[in-house]
Structure 1
Amino acid sequence: MTFSIAKPLSYSAPASGEAVMRLNAPATGEVLRLDELPHPLLQTGLLGTGAAINMTTGEVSAPIAAVVQSINIAKAQLVLVHAKGLKLQLQIGQPGEISYGERLKWLVKKGQRCEAGTSLLQSDPLWIKQQDALPVCVLTLLNAGRLGAIVLTSDPKIRINDEDFLALYA
């Protein structure tokens, strides 16, 4: 069994260079860094680098054009793969908070091609809160090894499909 710990990425833009990719907001709500969430695996970056949105509505859309690689209903997770090879995971709730996809309506299937903005799923943020869980959409980059920095939008409030939610730098 092989374990690898990703190098820590910077959260500020490098002095020179353009972003190699920009991701749209997958949900509406308040933008959070992963280290601001209470789950230790997210705080330490062991599940990947990325960001979260404390959702105020339940719609979740594709942040980039990609193919649905997998859907894990039991863990409320979906993995997308961009044509350039970037893999990203969208998860509703923190790990272990939503069991067996309760109150999630999946709108895509494995292998489906999606454009940026394609509706992926619908959730119920109010129900998630009633379960004493955080109604977050967690976006993690699963293969960020060649990236040097990720930059979150400067606006803490974001709407679904807003551009420049997350900029990736090499």
Structure 2
Amino acid sequence: MKTLRHISLALFTIGMLQSCMVSGKPNMEFFSDSGYDFKGAKMTSFNVPVFLAKPYIKRALREDGESEEVISLVKKVSKIKILTIENGSREMLKDYTQYLNNHDYEDWATIKHDGENVNVRVKQNGDAIKNMLFTVNSDKEMVFVDVKGNFTAEDISKMINSVSNK
């Protein structure tokens, strides 16, 4: 029985460590399509273990003076994937936007700050929002954050308003 527990614990630990690993391969659908020519763009992706990230995110939001309403949104997050791209082109970003439009993602907000654009897109099914995509692009690199969870339109509006007011 103890051996079974030790093996289970070892497999669980290995599984958790793997989710923290950084990869040179893209972890988002559009970018993992082998048919697209990314023309020398360097990609780095990783999956964020949510159970480890939630306390850190909540603490950082509190330190930044965010409201408890915004901090409570973190509880609704179930999965986070991040992809960074160096040497990406505007054409690639345009093609990605078209891909999202074709897959029922709605553009909810674009926030411009210090030469960077932050775009928020959501995939909605009725009143439920199960997926949010954040795209941050500047002249040098692009960052894509895919957040899965169980959100409402009001949750997303509060988050956008909080960021816009700063």
- TM-score range normalised by the length of the shorter chain: 0.3 to 0.5
**Greater helix content:** 2
Look at both structures and tell me which one has the larger radius of gyration over its CA atoms.
Answer: 2
Structure with more relative contact order (C-alpha pairs < 8 Å, separation 6 or more): 1
